[in-house]
Each structure stands twice: as structure tokens, then as C-alpha cells.
Amino acid sequence: MKKGVSFLVAVALMALASSLASASDPSPLQDTCVAIDEPKNAGISLVTNDLITIFINLSIDGGFILFCKNPNLTMAEDFFYQGLNIPGNTANRVGSNVTTVNVDAIPGLNTLGISLVRIDYAPYGQNPPHTHPRATEILTVLEGTLLVGFVTSNPQNRLISKVLNKGDVFVFPIGLIHFQFNIGHSNAVAIAALSSQNPGVITIANAVFGSNPPINPDFLATAFQLDKKVVEFLQARF
């Protein structure tokens, strides 16, 4: 039985590897694929001739293999999240907080290709320049006034920017560096949907100046046309 499970899992992983040639989330193979990280929790059942039934629509999330929960065992809680009405703590250096509702928060999002975030901004707080490698983002302002924008790829590097007020909507294309800045005197709140169950985020300053291990400061000094001491100061900040 163990050999049968191992064989089926291996076949599933091979199928998954071929599907990963595409940059998008996996397409659903059944109505639901509630994410679980252990095949033993998938409702594996022994049937005739020692064959094993495994519910699979495998995906890789943050480096982890996600299997499907037996659809007959799914429940409302697998598709539910509570607390998005609660403001995030913006008492930090950038003055913002992102509350993420992805497949880690709602296992039922697995293979559905969508997730959600709530972003809270203190006055003059910002969601600093960052990119989502696996998702397009569509943002709606619920409260306040935001300056938002994204930068196109080389060689144009055009800044596409707009001031948004309550009820306004803006789209950030997949993979492009973008930002939001609260230009109002009061708190601001936005909700954004992203076209992946796990869009990922790369904050530019953190990645460049806070990498582990650090990038050689001589290299960064040349890349950014800065004095090496300035680079070392920035690396110490991150």
C-alpha cells in the first residue's frame, strides 16, 4: 500500500512539474481542492486490487506541496475567513499594514487563482515599491486619498500614476513595480484582489538592501551610483 501511495504521489508530482512551465496557478480539476499538506489527510481510501484513491489537484505554495482534501469532507470553514474589518497596526517605519487573505488563510482558495488583502495606511503612510511575481492586482479605496502608481519595464520605465479617492479603482499589472502613498491627513483603507492564491511579494528596498546574505556593497554602489558608505548605511537599516 505504501508503495502504491508513493508511486501515485510521484506521478502527481511529475504532472505538476510539467504544469509549472506555465506561470499561472493550476486549473481546478474538480469543484473544490481544499489545500492540505499531507496526503494522509486527503481522504485516501483503499479500494479493490490494492489501488489507492488520492484526491489531487496538486499545487506548490511557498515551496510546499498542497494536496486536495476529500471533497466529501469539506466544510464551510474551509472557505471562510473572519476579521478583515479589523484595522491593521500601522505603527511601523512605513506607516502601513497589509492583512493577507490567501490560501494559507482560506484553504479553499487552492487552485482558484485569487486572493485578497486589506491595506491600512497611517497619515502619510505608504505601501512601498514592490512587485507581485505571480499576480495582477486590482485595488479599491474604501477610505482616504491615495497616490498610486506603477513603473513599466525597461527601457521606457514610464511612471503610470493617479490620485485615488474613496470608491476609485486602479489596476497594477502582474510583475510590475508599484506603490501606494496616503497623501491625506487621516487614515486610509484599501482592499485589493490578486489573481493568484499566493501572489508573492518582493519589496524592492528589502530585497536589495536587506538580502540574506547581503549583496556586495561595492556592486550596489556601482549599480545605484552611490557612495559605498551610503550603501552600507542602507544595508544596516534593513
* pTM score, whole prediction: 0.81
Q: What is the pLDDT of residue 29?
A: 76
Longest distance between any two alpha carbons in the chain, whole Å: 71
Q: Does position 141 have pLDDT exceeding 80, yes or no?
A: yes
Q: Is 137 annotated among the ligand-binding residues?
A: yes
What is the tens place of the pLDDT at every residue in 146-166? 999 999 999 999 999 999 999
Question: What are residue 103's DSSP bridge partners?
Answer: none
Tell me how far apart the alpha carbons of residues 68 and 80 are, in angstroms, rounded to a whole number. Answer: 17
What is the tens place of the pLDDT at every residue in 91-138? 999 999 999 999 999 999 999 999 999 999 999 999 999 999 999 999
Q: Does position 7 have pLDDT exceeding 80, yes or no?
A: no
Q: Is 185 annotated among the ligand-binding residues?
A: no
Q: Residue 110: exposed, middle, or buried by beta-carbon count in 10 A (0-12, 13-18, 19+)?
A: buried
Q: Is 132 annotated among the ligand-binding residues?
A: yes
Cis status, amide bond into 71, omega within 30 of 0:
no
Q: Which three cell numbers stand for residue 213?
A: 546574505
Handedness of CA 219, 220, 226, 231 (dihedral sign): negative
